Structure 1
């Protein structure tokens, strides 16, 4: 029989402390973040992510009883009120967990395909690009300065669990790009200038990096100056531009070998 403790009040001390993880500063202090919904928790368990606490309401206990029986040994049964307090969505899916933030390795293998995000601020865009990079077979994603927090609830939802399938790190791009170049990987920017090339005219590669810039301003001048070649997507209709996550997906699948 599993250990099961009930929490009915959102004023419970553990619940009040857990709710603080909705704020970035507390996530950084505790090296923890919240996972909402069955799919993300399931992906985390499959990836052997350490879950510190798990909160399930009656709906979750009913809908996923078989999986819970096989995979969880310690969780709290909470009221709907408590789960709503912990979740960012108005109608939570029945389960919320506290996951441990894993510190990146000191020495990262730089081979393969990397997606670099230069001040991409929308959590939905960042999460979608992580998911697309996973689908395209990329090695990792680097969240540069100004980019949305990986552990923002909207970012996490948008990844659909792909953050557990590839490397996702936060680092200054002006430090990461020189290391990529030293390893022999070309770095492609995304900007429309006189020297930019149509993305479809670039050979497919095994080792390279692709930089995507801010939704409104594009890449910063500093990072743009560090690229080996800038690429653009020809637009044939009347739209002025593409959403950054859509553009990233088009170019990622074109470039990777």
Structure 2
């Protein structure tokens, strides 16, 4: 196990660069932090390197007998340097970006994000989708990066459980409609109370930008748009909360 002390080490410089989306895209890798996330990552074949602060211990649940995983001991200074948090956990891993594919013969429940930008919201939505049994999450252009460290932390490992795709949302919507999956948008105009919808085995739900909602272009392609009644004085619900309410209703009793 190689020990690295200095932040000037070339390896450390590369790990630090993984806090940048541009470098994540260039290398096809990303950084995760914390024992829980790394345990989830080790269930896949996506872990490339593991870095453990010299005064930290790992649980017996870890399986590090993988020939393709390099393990490094690092100083506390390096932990502070490569973490994007004020109080690093001292345990990190470099992972390959996920190589997943949508299969309409197997995948039945879809969640699409149209311009959702806040990393905390994106991560919470992914975690909620995982809990609700969604098969595929799709981030449209204008949405945040699924491999942003804040997204990874908020998702709490759920990005290892789902098929996650990104790209032009209109193209994905067209594919969903071609495969006769009921498509629901979220809006206030020309919409019905979500409780009037009968749950089905297969569905797709589109949720939108925190400020402007789902784009008109996408809303015009949906089979039905839904709204959640507000009974108090709040003007709206947080997008991640609204997503949870709708997902659990759409798959209720299935």
Task: Determine the structure 1 residue equivalent to 2:232.
Answer: 237
Q: 1:71 aligns with which of 64, 67, 88?
A: 64
Partner of 1:71: helix, strand, or coil? coil
**What is the match of residue 38 of structure 1?**
35
- The 8 Å contact of residues 126 and 137 in structure 2, kept in 1 or not, is answered as yes
SS at match of 2:61: helix
Q: Deviations over 1:15-51 (max 9, x none)?
A: 01121111001101100000111111110102x1322
Deviation at 1:67, TM superposition (A): 3.3
Match of 1:251 in 2: 246
**What does residue 5 of structure 2 align with?**
8
Residue ranges of structure 2 left out of the alignment (5+ in a row): none
CA distance in 2, matches of 1:39, 1:72: 18
Instruction: Quote the Cα distance in structure 2 between the aligned partners of 1:24 and 1:98.
Output: 14
Counterparts of 1:185 and 1:248, CA distance in 2: 18
Count of aligned pairs: 248
Moved more, 243-252 or 83-92: 83-92
Please list, as runs of the form range in 1=range in 2, the aligned pairs for 1:111-130 lying within 5 A after superposition.
Answer: 111-130=107-126
In 2: Cα distance, 1:79 partner to 1:136 partner: 40
Aligned equivalent of 1:189: 185
SS in 1 for 2:2: strand
CA displacement 1:199-225 (0-9 Å, x = unmatched): 011000111100000000101111111
> In the alignment, is the contact (CA less than 8 A) between 1:115 and 1:140 conserved in 2?
yes
Could you say what secondary structure the match of 1:252 adopts? Answer: helix
Distance 2:65 2:94 in 1: 13
* Per-residue CA distance 1:182-203 (angstroms, 9 max, x = gap): 111111000001x311001100
Which of 149, 153, 159 is 2:149 aligned to? 153
Do 2:104 and 2:179's aligned partners in 1 also have CA atoms closer than 8 Å?
no
Displacement, 1:167?
A: 0.7
* Residue equivalent to 2:90: 94
